[in-house]
Copies of this chain bind each other. A is one copy, B any other.
């Protein structure tokens, strides 16, 4: 459970899956009713409460009402999410019993304990923080957001994000949850816009298995505790950095993880093409198998680009991995296999494709597909 002072500003982005879970649909409704305000976020694991029909919706509503009563807020000030098996009913009684001790045990500034509480099959805590100077006493915002060491002063605004990964092993945690909080003063529409920009450059650029789950949700809260405003450009940058760091942590903590890779596409004829090519290359099963093996089978990268639906002219295409050129202007570059293999065997493989057609660029991050992943995801859900 995450509690904010009453009147905290809230925003969220939810899965586009049409089998969106009951807690997703409720949170969406409540957020609209409250015009972007919330006091509590409650999360459970083990049961996704998706594909559970009207009963599932009523179960989630009941939990929300209990939380509202215990925390002394309006029912629509409670946002929620669930993660776990699809098609199973929530154990409402068990959750109800847990709400009283949960509400009383919440302490201020305990983002880390929340991050720990939402871990399921995650092997590592996923948390990221940036500080931004407040506009206030001296009236000037610091031009750079910065990594948090152990220092913080009253004139700084904090942006903290936590996430649980897209691990989908038993009990089928088909869910990514992330929460970004800030003590800046923001209007609901400002927070919403800031979250959307950050998500587009982070969680919308990673893939573990290509499946958009029924429960994926990213929440943002602005508590205005410091009452101070930050330069919006700086705050946006902090949001983006936090989201991107969390997204990278999720990729690197996927099941059976061995190696991450990033596909950077430039020279595309349109923004849509740039994303389509980078996403198709990063999510190709054959590419991901090659990455796992450190196999410089770069033909698979070109084949993925060629089937992406984007405009591609082979004669204009160049492909690099790390610092090594593999294909240039429609011709193989005759790079010795061992040199290419060394690049494909790095912990973080960087693949750069220049389409040579325009000025648009984009990127996508994924990981090698491993036997361990298949093993974990083939196991019985029972």
Contact = CB atoms under 8 A, between A and B. Distances in A.
Interface of A: 15-20, 48, 50-55, 85-89, 168, 172, 174, 209-214, 284-286, 289-290, 292-300, 302-307, 311-315, 326-327, 330-332, 337, 341, 368-371, 373-375, 377-382
Given A53-B315, A300-B174, A302-B86, A341 B377 contact: no
Contact of A299 (B87, B212, B284, B331): B87
How many copies the complex holds: the figure is 2
Given A302-B51, A332-B51, A380 B327 contact: no
A26 to B, nearest CB: 15
A367 to B, nearest CB: 13
A382 B314 contact: no
A87 B327 contact: yes
Contacts of A378: 289-290, 292-293, 295, 368-371
A293 B380 contact: yes
A379 to B, nearest CB: 6
B289 A374 contact: yes
12 contacts: A18-B314, A19-B306, A87-B298, A87-B302, A87-B326, A211-B285, A214-B299, A293-B377, A293-B378, A341-B382, A371-B374, A371-B378
Nearest to A372: B371
A313 B305 CA distance: 34
A210 B284 contact: yes
Contacts of A16: 307
Contacts of A377: 285-286, 289-290, 293
Contacts of A327: 51, 87
Contacts of A298: 86-87
Nearest to A296: B381
Contact of A382 (B17, B174, B303, B337): B337
Given A209-B285, A211-B304, A289-B374, A51 B19 contact: no
Contacts of A380: 293-295, 341
B369 A374 contact: yes
Given A19-B303, A86-B299, A286-B377, 12 more contacts: A15-B307, A50-B299, A50-B303, A52-B332, A86-B300, A172-B297, A213-B303, A214-B303, A289-B378, A292-B378, A371-B375, A373-B374
Contacts of A54: 330
Given A302-B87, A382-B296, A314 B371 contact: no
Contacts of A290: 377-378, 381
Given A18-B314, A314-B18, A51 B299 contact: yes
**In this complex, which of A52, A85, A86, A212 has the most chain B Cβ atoms within 10 angstroms of its Cβ?**
A86
A55 B306 CA distance: 19
A158 to B, nearest CB: 35
Which 3 A-B residue pairs are closest in the complex by CB-CB distance? A86-B299, A293-B378, A19-B306
Given A51-B327, A332-B88, A377-B289, A300 B369 contact: no
Contacts of A375: 371
